[in-house]
């Protein structure tokens, strides 16, 4: 069985307000899977239903493995030290402490500090360490890098990649397109209570935008051309430039950013 999670027809309303309108998706073992959506799209609600922390109104959720959970916001007593928290969590879970994992998350560097003295990045690393106690198979991270600087984000990405290389399944909610593009194997986009896209970043690009953008820099300035047929357009453009004896300094071809594709899909009105 290669499936870590299967969600079928997941429904959730708060009062009369429908937030999840029958979600269907599945997450394979060993992949990094991202839930994306604008603020209020229902990412946290979906994660917390799967985690068993929130009741849902309909549908089925099958989770195939032990879960480790890092919530969007969590707190610890102000004066507790990181290792005290780790020992407490290990005791509650009746698990041994994995000191190699703690070292990899930089717990040594902060062991003398109290919780209240930790930076946002250090708190996030501690909460990730707590989520990993018990060696879970599936790790849920709700906006894991929110509020982190570039270095903190890269270091956390490295830890997440290491978890994947150890065969863990990672499910995360994120707003950060660069993060999702570099880190995640597959993405599901939530919009108006439905999954409007589920696949890889390049499949998202294919779905939204078939066009290519050719950016040409010449002695006379920069120009961008949009085309469906990259080969013909490039040949024509280069031929024209050669005929006019204009030297080309640089050429770049792209298909727009993942952020543009995400916004196009995430903001589409319900069909």
Ligand X SMILES: Nc1ncnc2c1ncn2[C@@H]1O[C@H](COP(=O)(O)OP(=O)(O)OP(=O)(O)O)[C@@H](O)[C@H]1O
Distance of CA 95 to the CA centre of its chain: 28
Pairwise CA distance, residues 89 & 22, whole Å: 35
Please tell me whether residue 70 binds ligand X under the rule CB under 6 A.
no
Pairwise CA distance, residues 76 & 186, whole Å: 32
Q: Which stretch binds ligand X (CB under 6 A): 24-32, 38-46, 80-88, 162-170?
A: 38-46
- Taking the least distance from each CB to ligand X, the nearer of 110 and 190 is 190
DSSP 14-29: ETTEEEEEEEEEEEET
Please tell me whether residue 23 binds ligand X under the rule CB under 6 A.
no
Please tell me whether residue 37 binds ligand X under the rule CB under 6 A.
yes
Among 21, 27, 34, 42, binds ligand X (CB under 6 A): 42
- Taking the least distance from each CB to ligand X, the nearer of 40 and 77 is 40
- Taking the least distance from each CB to ligand X, the nearer of 48 and 181 is 48
Q: What is the DSSP letter of 53?
A: S
- Taking the least distance from each CB to ligand X, the nearer of 42 and 144 is 42
Among 10, 23, 44, 184, binds ligand X (CB under 6 A): 44
- Taking the least distance from each CB to ligand X, the nearer of 19 and 50 is 19
Please tell me whether residue 45 binds ligand X under the rule CB under 6 A.
yes
DSSP 178-237: HHHHHH-SEEEEEETTEEEEEE-HHHHHHHH---EEEEEEETTEEEEEEES-HHHHHHHH
Pairwise CA distance, residues 242 & 244, whole Å: 5
Please tell me whether residue 40 binds ligand X under the rule CB under 6 A.
yes
CA nearest 125: which of 81, 155, 91, 149? 155
Q: Smallest distance, Å, CB 40 to ligand X? A: 4
Please tell me whether residue 147 binds ligand X under the rule CB under 6 A.
no
Q: What is the DSSP letter of 117?
A: G
Query: How many amino acids of this chain bind ligand X (CB under 6 A)?
Result: 10
Please tell me whether residue 82 binds ligand X under the rule CB under 6 A.
no
Pairwise CA distance, residues 100 & 71, whole Å: 23
CA nearest 186: which of 195, 168, 198? 198
Among 4, 5, 10, 41, binds ligand X (CB under 6 A): 41
Among 7, 43, 56, 171, binds ligand X (CB under 6 A): 43
- Which residues lie near ligand X (CB under 6 A)? 14, 19, 37, 39-45
């Amino acid at each position: 069985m290669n499936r870590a999670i299967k969600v079928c027809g997941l429904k959730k309303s708060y009062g009369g307000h429908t937030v999840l309108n029958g979600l269907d998706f599945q997450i394979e073992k060993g992949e990094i899977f991202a839930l994306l959506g604008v603020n209020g799209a229902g990412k946290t609600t979906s994660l917390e239903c799967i985690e068993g922390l929130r009741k849902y109104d309909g549908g089925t959720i099958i989770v195939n493995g032990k879960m480790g959970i890092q919530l969007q916001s969590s707190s610890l007593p102000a004066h507790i030290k990181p290792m005290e928290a780790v020992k407490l969590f290990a005791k509650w879970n009746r698990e041994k402490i994995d000191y190699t994992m703690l070292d990899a998350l930089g717990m040594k560097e902060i062991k003398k500090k109290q919780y209240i003295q930790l930076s946002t990045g250090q708190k996030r690393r501690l909460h990730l360490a707590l989520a990993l106690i018990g060696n879970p198979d599936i790790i849920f991270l709700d906006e894991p890098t929110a509020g982190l600087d570039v270095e903190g984000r890269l270091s956390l990405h490295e830890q997440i990649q290491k978890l994947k290389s150890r065969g863990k399944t990672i499910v995360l909610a994120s707003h950060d397109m660069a993060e999702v593009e570099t880190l995640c194997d597959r993405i599901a986009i939530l919009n108006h209570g439905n999954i409007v896209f589920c696949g890889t970043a390049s499949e998202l690009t294919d779905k939204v935008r078939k066009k290519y953008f050719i950016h040409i820099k010449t002695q006379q300035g920069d120009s961008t051309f949009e085309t469906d047929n990259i080969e013909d357009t490039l040949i024509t453009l280069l031929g024209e430039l050669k005929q006019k004896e204009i030297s080309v300094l640089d050429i770049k071809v792209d298909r727009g950013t993942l952020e543009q594709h995400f916004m196009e899909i995430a903001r589409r009105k319900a069909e």
